[in-house]
Amino acid sequence: MPATIRAISPATPATVVAVLLAAGAAVSFTPLHTSWDLSLRDWSQRDGHQPCHIDNVVQYAPGASVLLLKACGLESRHSWRDLICLGAGASLVGLTVNTGMKYAFGVVRPDGRAANSFPSGHTLTAFLGAEMLRREYGEEYPAVAVAGYAVAAGVGAMRVYNNRHWGSDVLAGAGGGILNASVMY
């Protein structure tokens, strides 16, 4: 097994989660919001910006891939029953906490449509699925784990590109997704 995959120890998600959540909060609730978040949003929407809302569907791809790979015969670490319970439990807790945070913090979305921007639920969903993919298949199939995280990162980028979230919302959503999957495991 490659050293880079072996280096992802059980402690690594805790460090990544802490960094993502702290960075998201630090940017969102400090003067960095007006400099970093606005600059990122403006950069992503230059040169004939055309919104593309595929992120509304793709957010589920990493999590669905866990079940699809199992259905195709790839051996996962857990049984069907356990996979479904892990995914449902992590999703229920994650989205409940995330929704509560959105309304508690009341951060206005970049498009000004609502005050429920922080943290990004789409990004949380995608990173939760990516972390499940890593835990179920990453040791035996490292490319699967990398692909899951690449898709999740793409969902986060699309949320900023589509003017639905700030970059800080996406960072916190990613941390929340990894955290929820890690807690369930």
CA–CA dist 35, 55 (Å, integer): 25
Q: What is the pTM of this model?
A: 0.89
Buried b (16+ CB within 10 A) or exposed e, 98-130: beebbeebebebbeeeeebbbbbbbbbbbbbbb
CB 80 within 8 A of CB 179: no
Tokens of 16: 């990544």
Q: How far apart are CA 133 and CA 54, in angstroms?
A: 21
pLDDT at 17: 83
pLDDT value for 12: 64
Mean pLDDT, each 10-residue run in order, the chain (185 residues): 46 78 84 80 83 94 97 95 95 93 94 95 97 95 95 96 94 94 91
For residues 126 and 63, give the distance between their C-alpha atoms in angstroms, rounded to a whole number: 7
